[in-house]
Structure 1
Amino acid sequence: MKPAPFAYHRPTSVAEAVARLGEYGGGARVLAGGQSLVPMLNMRLWRPDALVDINDIDDLDDILPAGDRTVLGALVRYSTVERSPLVAERLPLLARIVRHIGDRQVRNRGTVGGALVQGDPTGELPLACLVLGAVVVAAGPAGTRRIPLAEFYEGPYATVLDPGELVVAVEFPAHPQHFAFREFCRKHNDFAVISAVATGNRDEDGTWHGVRLALGGVADSPVLAPSALEGSRLTDDDVTVAAEAALTVVDPPTDVRASAEYRRHLVPVYVRRVLTELREAQGGIHEVA
């Protein structure tokens, strides 16, 4: 099947792209990498009046240090994140987690901004951005606004963006010292059944601070799990309590990959795994994979 007819625009500036989006009153879609959009068009699940292709806009594919913060343009490709020395140094969780997205062809085209706007509840990028406390920068007719990732989704595949707004960048604060990531898929690089990531900083005496735990595939969007791990040593008892507490924020779906019951069963299993592995991290910024 081929897409329904649509108008096509290829602006060269953010202002022009915003203006084009405004012309269609919510009837236009932004084309970045197209890894989700194009299949939906071909199946005629989406029938927009127009596509606004942003690939000719300068500066949207930059990766920039800004003090302790790191800024990724919306057009930064997964493959760039995977290979960038700057990302590896400043955002190692991102460099690690993109390896689980699709295959090489998908990673060569898919973009950071596109992944966040798509809002797949099982997506690795939204999960990583949530646990790292990222902020989405969006440009619209009223100017630019910054939206914390924790406030960016209002449901599955649904963001708080206005129809005339365009994601232009994602800002990340300083990366925690340690992280651990795990996901379960039915086959390599398939959509995740469930994913879990934990981050934190550890003092020399083994005390942990700023521990954050996030889960994907178990609700309408990635969720932060509650924990009482500040100042703890991540003992087995601490980990068990956190694993059970995580069940209070999940509402897993049933789909072709797994039942809600099975996903709920996996939640404490994967929370225990990432927290136990986080506890075993050694040295400076460190991943457990």
Structure 2
Amino acid sequence: MKAPYFQYHRPSSIGEAVTFLDEYGGGARVIAGGQSLVPMMNMRLWRPLALVDINGIDELARIREDGDRTILGALVRYSEIERLPVIAERLPVLAHIVRYIGDRQVRNRGTIGGSLVQGDPTGEMPLACLVLGATVRVVGPDGVREIPLPELYESSYAATLDVEELLTEVVFPRAPQHFAFTEVTRRHNDFAVVSVLATGDRDADGRWRDVRIGLGGVNDTPVLASGSGAALEGSDLSDDAIRAAAELAVEAIDPPTDIRASAEYRRHLVPIHVRRVLTQLRETPLRDAPLRGDTA
């Protein structure tokens, strides 16, 4: 099938894009990479009155450094996140986790902004942005507002942006020193059944602080296992501490049953893989540079 008739607009500025979105009053869709939008239109599951193509807005493709903060425009491609030295240095979690997304063709077109607006609960990028404490900036007719990642979604595939708003930037604070990541899939580069990302900083005496554990595929949105992270504050990630944190992680989830796995299977997997990821985190070597991390 092919998409039904629609109007096409290619604005050259953020203000012009917002004007088009406002004019259609919810009937327009933003297109950037088109990895999810175009297939949905071709199957006629989405029938927008117009497409607003933001690929001509150069400021949306910029990467900026602001002290410890790193700011990525909504149009930054997965392939850039994968290969640019500034990302490897300042946001090594993203540089690592992006390799789990799709294939080369998908990563050449997909964008960080598109992934966050799409809000796939199994998506690697929403999970990474949540664990890293990112905030998104959106622009609408009433101006600019900032939304922390935990407040970005109402449910699966449902971002809290108004229909006239455009996501323009993703703002990351200082990256943690260490991280570990894993995901369970039915086959290579398939949607995740369960994914686990853990980050943290380690003091010279081996004590861990600011441990954050994120889980994907186990709720309507990616979730933080806040109780698990709090239980590990000041610990040396001993086997007993890891085991207890892994069991606590189950309290943060409400897994679905779908064609990939049952809720019971996901609930079974979570403590196993949280334990494995935390063990990997514990084994990462100490680093002097505060903006570097280690892969699992």
Same fold (TM over 0.5): yes
Which residue does 1:283 correspond to in 2? 286
Per-residue Cα deviation, 1:199-240 (whole angstroms, up to 9, x for no partner): 000011110000000000000000000221111111111111
Instruction: Kindly state the Cα deviation for residue 256 of structure 1 after the two structures are TM-superposed.
Output: 1.1
Which residue does 2:155 correspond to in 1? 155
Which residue does 2:257 correspond to in 1? 254
What is the DSSP-based 3-state SS (H/G/I as helix, E as strand, rest coil) of the residue aligned with 2:61? Answer: coil
Verify: 1:240 aligned to 2:248, yes or no: no
Which residue does 1:88 correspond to in 2? 88
Q: For structure 1, which segment, 8-17 or 226-235, has the greater mean C-alpha deviation from structure 2 after superposition? A: 226-235
Q: Distance in 2 between matches of 1:190 and 1:28?
A: 30
Instruction: Kindly state the Cα deviation for residue 288 of structure 1 after the two structures are TM-superposed.
Output: 3.0
Which residue does 1:124 correspond to in 2? 124
Alignment of 1:67-86 (within 5 A): 67-86=67-86
Instruction: Kindly state the Cα deviation for residue 283 of structure 1 after the two structures are TM-superposed.
Output: 2.4
Instruction: Kindly state the Cα deviation for residue 150 of structure 1 after the two structures are TM-superposed.
Output: 1.1
Q: Which letter maps to 2:32?
A: A
Which residue does 2:277 correspond to in 1? 274
Which residue does 1:217 correspond to in 2? 217
Q: Which letter maps to 1:27?
A: G
Q: Which letter maps to 1:238?
A: A
Which residue does 2:34 correspond to in 1? 34
Alignment of 1:170-189 (within 5 A): 170-189=170-189
Per-residue Cα deviation, 1:242-284 (whole angstroms, up to 9, x for no partner): 1111111111111111111111100001110111110111022
Can you give the 5+ residue segments of structure 2 that lack an aligned partner in the other structure?
Answer: none
Q: Distance in 2 between matches of 1:4 and 1:238?
A: 56
Q: Distance in 2 between matches of 1:240 and 1:45?
A: 44
Which residue does 2:268 correspond to in 1? 265
Q: Distance in 2 between matches of 1:25 and 1:240?
A: 51
Q: Distance in 2 between matches of 1:46 and 1:264?
A: 33
Q: Distance in 2 between matches of 1:181 and 1:58?
A: 32
Conserved? CA contact 2:69–2:173, under 8 Å = yes
Instruction: Quote the RMSD (CA, aligned, Å).
Output: 0.7
Q: Which letter maps to 1:78?
A: Y
Instruction: Give the total of aligned pairs.
Output: 289
TM-score by length of 2: 0.97
Conserved? CA contact 2:202–2:286, under 8 Å = no
What is the DSSP-based 3-state SS (H/G/I as helix, E as strand, rest coil) of the residue aligned with 1:72? Answer: strand
Q: Distance in 2 between matches of 1:146 and 1:288?
A: 30
Which residue does 1:109 correspond to in 2? 109
Q: Which letter maps to 1:287?
A: D
What is the DSSP-based 3-state SS (H/G/I as helix, E as strand, rest coil) of the residue aligned with 2:71? Answer: strand
Which residue does 1:139 correspond to in 2? 139
TM-score by length of 1: 0.99
What is the DSSP-based 3-state SS (H/G/I as helix, E as strand, rest coil) of the residue aligned with 2:171? Answer: strand
Can you give the 5+ residue segments of structure 1 that lack an aligned partner in the other structure?
Answer: none
Q: Distance in 2 between matches of 1:270 and 1:46?
A: 36
Q: Distance in 2 between matches of 1:274 and 1:125?
A: 18
Which residue does 1:14 correspond to in 2? 14
Per-residue Cα deviation, 1:53-77 (whole angstroms, up to 9, x for no partner): 0000121111111110000000000
Which residue does 2:233 correspond to in 1? 230
